């Protein structure tokens, strides 16, 4: 990704496109950060993943939970876009759309005609595959994401545009449905009760509900950029779940890193001005995989309860631990991060000392970069640097700090931020000290 110029966000005519990606294992608080910047753009675009993602927004005390619709939906006059790199469960999308219209939110939305469709047999297959993998499983959300992406790669997939042409839809659907039934019976030895015609007719009706929102995302976005419109690209999940650059095979099935925007939305890499990585001040992970800086039982329980670390999509308790700078160096490199936004730093308040994982150790060897070998990664132990903590501040305390700005933060909190900047060589430009949109500090 290229970084054009060097002007700060908000400087007139110095930027046009901004990417926001998760720099850890997902659940970093991207939804709030996207919402924060969305006020300054014309478009908010999601380019990968499906309803396995979950973003929670808190605006004026009201909670919104999103799974498919981009986080910019709560601002008026924003064009929200679901890119071709996504896999879409139309049942979930229509339900989410209805929930917003019921709350008086008008949708100015574009859904890519090239995005692929999730069916009930994808969801059933997702669980069977994950159970078969056992220890090598990703801890899937069982929303049908992986099997749908697999069909896309095998060129059996059904796309949004196919739902709008009954003849083409039936031709593709019949072939795909029969293939899946054979797979269930012959490979998994499972008898699955799915009504072929019922699903077809239901999905045809869902397609008709979506019809007015469907179009060519690549064409519209590139024309918008030619007209000087501003665009925010919103990533889902996190860097370590990327299918190429994450901890494979404990990953999702799409490219979650910044480069995924090129294939997932149909824009060239030279069109991206800035890439902000969202980093939780500690670590959390849903699903299985090695996690070197995972806390002990007591530490993890403390972070989980204080940070309310339960999945937006699944409700599952998240594994918790300490910030991992080995992993963040990897995220900086593969995403081309130009800055960081740190979230949930308020959760660390009240701790006497705070560990920072600066390297891994394998025997007598120090490891500073993420290993590709699963065997090596399983054996890695964290090397910690400890810094003194800071007092546990109340919501009222943080409200006052936000008004005063960055310099009003506790001294040790600022030290914590500076260590992260120094170790990974990327500046921090935003600090989130609470779930509400207003609990945000911009570092100038």
E-state strands within 10-159? 17-22, 43-46, 55-59, 62-66, 79-82, 87-88, 109-112, 116-117
Distances (CA, A) of 98 to 62, 94, 167, 178, 192: 17, 6, 28, 32, 30
pLDDT for the residue 393:
95
- Residue 437: predicted pLDDT: 85
Split at pLDDT 50, 70, 90, the class of 266 is very high
Are 247 and 374 in contact, with CB atoms under 8 Å apart? yes
CB atoms within 10 A of CB 376: 15
CATH topology of domain 17-112+216-442: Adenylosuccinate Synthetase; Chain A, domain 1 (3.40.440)
pLDDT tens figures, 16-43: 999 999 999 999 999 889 989 998 999 9
Mean pLDDT of the 195-219 span: 97
Strands (E), 125-272: 214-215, 231-234
Higher pLDDT, 115 or 99: 115
So what's the pLDDT on residue 10?
A: 41
pTM: 0.90
Work out the burial of residue 260: count CB atoms within 10 Å of its CB; fewer than 13 is exposed, 13-18 middle, 19 or more buried.
buried
pLDDT value at position 106? 86
pLDDT at 46 exceeding the cut of 70? yes
pLDDT confidence bin for 52, thresholds 50/70/90: confident
Q: Which residue has the tokens 């064409």?
A: 219
pLDDT tens, residue by residue, 278-295: 999 999 998 888 999 999
Q: Which positions ≥6 away from 377 have C-beta within 8 Å?
A: 247, 290, 292, 370, 371
pLDDT at 312: 64
The dihedral over CA atoms of 75, 80, 85, 86, expressed in degrees to the nearest 10, equals 70
What does the pLDDT read at residue 15?
75
* CATH of region 116-212: 1.10.300.10
pLDDT at 131: 67
Answer whether residue 114 shows pLDDT above 50: yes
Question: How would residue 78 be classed by pLDDT, with cut points 50, 70 and 90?
Answer: very high
Comparing 63-72, 205-214, 339-348, 400-409, the range with the smallest average pLDDT is: 63-72
pLDDT exceeds cutoff 80 at 127: no
Q: Break the chain into its structural domains and give their ranges.
A: 17-112+216-442, 116-212
pLDDT over threshold 80, residue 54: no
What is the pLDDT averaged over residues 5-26? Answer: 71
Q: Which of 8-12, 96-100, 250-254, 424-428 has the lowest mean pLDDT?
A: 8-12
Q: What's the token pair of residue 195?
A: 């009504």
pLDDT of residue 13: 45
Query: Mind listing the pLDDT tens digit for each residue in 411-420?
Result: 999 999 999 9
**Which residues are marked as active site?**
27, 55
If you average pLDDT over every residue of the chain, what do you get?
Answer: 91
Looking at residue 288, what is its pLDDT?
Answer: 81
What's the pLDDT at 8? 40
Would the pLDDT of 381 be above 90? yes
pLDDT band (50, 70, 90) for residue 1: very low
pLDDT, one tens digit per residue, over 312-358 is: 666 789 999 999 999 999 999 999 999 999 999 999 999 999 999 99
What does the buried/exposed string (b/e) look like for 286-308 if buried means 16 or more CB atoms within 10 Å of the residue's CB?
bbbbbbbbbbeeebbebbbebbe
């Amino acid at each position: 990704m290229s970084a054009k110029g060097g002007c700060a966000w908000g400087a007139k005519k110095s930027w046009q496109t901004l990417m926001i990606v998760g720099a850890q294992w997902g659940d970093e608080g991207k939804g709030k950060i996207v919402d924060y910047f969305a006020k300054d753009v014309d478009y908010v675009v999601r380019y990968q993943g499906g309803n396995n993602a979950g973003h929670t927004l808190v605006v004026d005390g009201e909670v919104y939970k999103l799974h498919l619709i981009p986080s910019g939906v709560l601002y008026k006059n924003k064009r929200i876009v679901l890119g071709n790199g996504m896999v879409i469960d139309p049942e979930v999308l229509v339900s989410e759309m209805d929930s917003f219209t019921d709350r008086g939110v008008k949708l100015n939305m574009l859904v890519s005609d090239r995005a692929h469709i999730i069916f009930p047999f994808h969801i059933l297959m997702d669980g069977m595959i994950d159970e078969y993998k056992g220890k090598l499983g990703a801890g899937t959300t069982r929303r049908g994401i992986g099997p749908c992406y697999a069909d896309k790669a095998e060129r059996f997939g059904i796309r949004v545009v196919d739902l709008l042409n009954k003849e083409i839809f039936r031709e593709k659907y019949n072939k795909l449905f029969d293939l899946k039934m054979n797979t269930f019976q012959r490979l998994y030895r499972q008898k699955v009760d799915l009504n072929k015609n019922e699903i077809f007719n239901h999905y045809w009706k869902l397609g008709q509900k979506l019809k007015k929102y469907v179009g060519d995302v690549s064409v519209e976005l590139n024309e918008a950029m030619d007209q000087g419109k501003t665009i925010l690209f919103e990533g889902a999940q996190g860097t370590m779940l990327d299918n190429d650059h994450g901890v494979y095979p404990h990953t999702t099935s799409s490219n979650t890193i910044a480069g995924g925007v090129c294939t997932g939305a149909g824009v060239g890499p030279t069109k991206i001005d800035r890439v902000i990585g969202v980093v939780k001040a500690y670590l959390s992970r849903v699903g299985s995989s090695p996690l070197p800086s995972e806390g002990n039982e007591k530490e993890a329980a403390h972070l989980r309860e204080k940070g309310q670390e339960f999945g937006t999509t699944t409700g599952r308790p998240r594994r918790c631990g300490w910030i991992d700078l080995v992993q963040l160096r990897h995220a900086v490199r593969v995403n081309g991060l130009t800055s960081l936004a740190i979230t949930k730093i308020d959760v660390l308040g009240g701790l006497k000392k705070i560990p920072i994982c600066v390297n891994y150790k394998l025997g007598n060897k120090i490891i500073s970069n993420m290993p590709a070998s699963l065997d090596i990664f399983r054996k890695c132990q964290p090397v910690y640097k400890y810094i003194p903590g800071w007092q546990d501040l109340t919501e009222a305390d943080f409200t006052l700090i936000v008004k005063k700005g960055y310099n009003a933060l506790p001294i040790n909190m600022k030290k914590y931020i500076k260590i992260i900047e120094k170790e990974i060589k990327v500046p921090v430009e935003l600090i989130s000290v609470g779930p509400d949109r207003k609990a945000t500090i911009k570092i100038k």
